[in-house]
Amino acid sequence: GNGVHAGASRSLASCLVASGVRNFSLAGSPAYSSLLGFSVQNLRFALPGVRKPAAVVLPASRRDLRRAVLCARRAAAAIRVRSGGHSYEGQSYTVAGAALGDGGAPFVVVDLMNLNRVRVDAASATAWAESGATLGEVYHAVARTASPNGSSSSSSLAFAAGSCSTVGVGGHVSGGGFGLLSRKFMLAADNVLDALLVDAEGRVLNRGAMGEDVFWAIRGGGGGSWGVVYAWKLRLVPVPDTVTVFTPSREGSVDAIAGLVHRWQFVGPALPDEFYLSVFLTIGGASQEDTNVTVSFTGLVLGPRELAMSVLSERFPELGLAATELSEMSWVESAAQFAGLGSAEELTSRVSKTKHYGKNKSDYVRQPVARDALAAILRYLSAGPAGYVILDPYGGAMARAGATDTPFPHRAGNLYGVQYGVTWDADDDGEARMSWLRALYAYMAPHVSSGPRAAYVNYIDLDLGTVAATAAANRSATAVDRARETWGASYFSAENFDRLVRAKTRIDPANVFNNAQSIPPLQRHD
Ligand code: FDA
């Protein structure tokens, strides 16, 4: 109750002050709401019914970060770590309600937005990025640095990660990090060379000190389970000075567009590694007069326009790509464009221009979906509320990494990943939107992976199960078995999940760092 919270707040505040941590805000104080709200990216978790933290702490240094962890523990408050706040389920700034069995204990948000420095070393093509840096801040810092071989070089450095510029590198790398360079250079997590992890005892551990199992786990095993990653050492990758960007849209009858998407399933995942071509389908927008539907493609080629045209006109003539649809630009300009920004300078802005209420889910497709099934899916989507479905091409380098090299198992054999999202505004019926999305997910089951039905941990989806919900449903199995059967095998594969449990048991046996879908440690009776 309130007494517990007031007590926790007082003891947290006095510990922070005594430790020299100045930048924090207690519930009820003037700056609290704006500091908490700034990185809430899903308005579903800004609603009054969602439990709020006793305090938001904003460490300004590694020392502050260690002390924030120790003071939260001393005050018996749970810890939520937030980098960019893009968790689709608000896991960086919410806790399960008392109804889910956590007893309503107080919690603290440790927000890393002030730990956002990026130090690039062009000579070694590496960078150290503090976890609170956004992807946009990393891209901007990397692009600003001279190319490794001086001005005569025709290549530049880049970092392979996702497309939204305000996503935090902390949460993103923790869950993998897929983007437009991934068919050539794999995931953000595949390009991590070292890291500094603040553990539950406040120790700062590098790769050698944390050990290979934990270093393996933090690169794709999901955020919030291991400790706080203070900073990552990233491998930068070479890209040509000029890349080619195209985002063609095609409108047509359901059957025609189904034919185009059907073809794409064979083309997108099999293009050369330098090519990325994804599909964007709109949910909603059906009207009685208009029987047409639209598909949009997002294309990036690491090479000149002529290369893009020659390969795509040969491999995907059905797209009918015109030379006027292609633009050449630098990689960093392409990153700005794919993030929806007007210029590369805007990559450093941490402000999200539009925030919605939303819910997302994911799938993987291993066998092409039949053309008539795609037509039925397009009809289903057009009759829905507002949202989108994105088909992300795998293959290329993604298929050459092993399924156990990192916790992220979705490698060879996966044609593409699917992300479903519905969004809404304050006046809309959010529960109805989420029910519609769940029905779509059920409808899609015959067409996607199964046994287990795979999912991407960075598109976190609590519908797959939560620690507390499965505990209530099945008291006889251990926490580890329940988690493996529900979300664990879907996100990581059963084998990787079991290795994650061993890493968790080593680094955080008391489960200080937890959330609704964190990796459980082995208990003595397990
Ligand atoms: P947030 O701060 O919410 O953290 C997410 C999780 O990681 C939480 O559990 C949190 O506690 C934990 N965490 C955060 N920082 C940590 C740290 N330093 N140490 C340990 N744990 C930490 N994904 C993708 O692969 N490709 C893409 O292109 C996109 N695009 C995209 C666009 C938009 C608009 C959204 C909302 C999301 C995406 N994503 C994505 C998904 C994104 O990668 C995922 O939500 C990340 O976890 C977000 O990281 P943040 O740091 O922003 O989130």
Q: Is the minimum distance from the CB of 132 to ligand 1 under 6 angstroms?
A: no
Dihedral (CA of 88, 507, 205, 406) sign? negative
Cis omega (within 30 of 0) for bond into 452: yes
- Residue 493 corresponds to which amino acid? S
Measure 130 CA to ligand 1 centroid, in angstroms: 14
Confidence of residue 305 (pLDDT cuts 50, 70, 90): very high
In this structure, what are the phi and psi dihedrals at residue 337, rounded to the nearest 5 degrees?
-65, -45
Nearest CA to ligand 1 atom 28: 162
**What is the predicted pLDDT for the residue at 291?**
82
ipTM of the prediction: 0.99
Of 39, 62, 87, 456, best ligand 1 pocket probe by most atoms within 8 Å of the beta carbon: 87
User: Tokens 């000579």 — which residue?
Assistant: 123
Q: Is the minimum distance from the CB of 143 to ligand 1 under 6 angstroms?
A: no
| Best CA proximity match to 135, nearest among 281, 346, 369 | 346
Q: What is the pTM of this model?
A: 0.96
Per residue in 329-375, pLDDT (tens digit) is: 999 999 999 999 999 999 999 999 889 999 999 999 999 999 999 99
Q: Is the minimum distance from the CB of 136 to ligand 1 under 6 angstroms?
A: no
Count CB-CB contacts under 10 A for residue 114: 14
Determine the average pLDDT of the residues in 406-429.
97
Measure 306 CA to ligand 1 centroid, in angstroms: 36
**What is the predicted pLDDT for the residue at 8?**
85
**What is the predicted pLDDT for the residue at 471?**
54
Asked if the model's pLDDT at residue 100 lies above 70, the reply is: no
- Residue 391 corresponds to which amino acid? L
Rounded Cα distance between 175 and 171, Å, is: 7
Q: Is the minimum distance from the CB of 298 to ligand 1 under 6 angstroms?
A: no
Per residue in 12-66, pLDDT (tens digit) is: 999 999 999 999 999 999 999 999 999 999 999 999 889 999 999 999 999 999 9
Nearest CA to ligand 1 atom 47: 171
Asked if the model's pLDDT at residue 388 lies above 90, the reply is: yes
- Residue 483 corresponds to which amino acid? A
- Residue 232 corresponds to which amino acid? W
Per residue in 236-293, pLDDT (tens digit) is: 999 999 999 999 999 999 999 999 999 999 999 999 999 999 999 999 977 666 689 9
Determine the average pLDDT of the residues in 203-228.
98
Asked if the model's pLDDT at residue 473 lies above 60, the reply is: no
Cα angle for residues 388, 393, 397 (degrees, 5° grid): 150
Rounded Cα distance between 216 and 221, Å, is: 8
Q: CA dihedral in degrees (483, 489, 495, 497; nearest 10)? A: -40
Nearest CA to ligand 1 atom 27: 162
Asked if the model's pLDDT at residue 499 lies above 60, the reply is: yes
Task: Locate 335 and state its tokens.
Answer: 């990153």
In this structure, what are the phi and psi dihedrals at residue 458, rounded to the nearest 5 degrees?
-70, -15
Determine the average pLDDT of the residues in 55-80.
97
Rounded Cα distance between 37 and 34, Å, is: 5
In this structure, what are the phi and psi dihedrals at residue 54, rounded to the nearest 5 degrees?
-70, -25
Characterize the bridge pairing of strands 293-301 and 249-252.
antiparallel
Q: Is the minimum distance from the CB of 170 to ligand 1 under 6 angstroms?
A: yes
Where are the alpha helices (H) located in 268-370, listed in sequence order?
305-315, 331-338
Measure 60 CA to ligand 1 centroid, in angstroms: 20
Measure 168 CA to ligand 1 centroid, in angstroms: 6
Count CB-CB contacts under 10 A for residue 172: 28
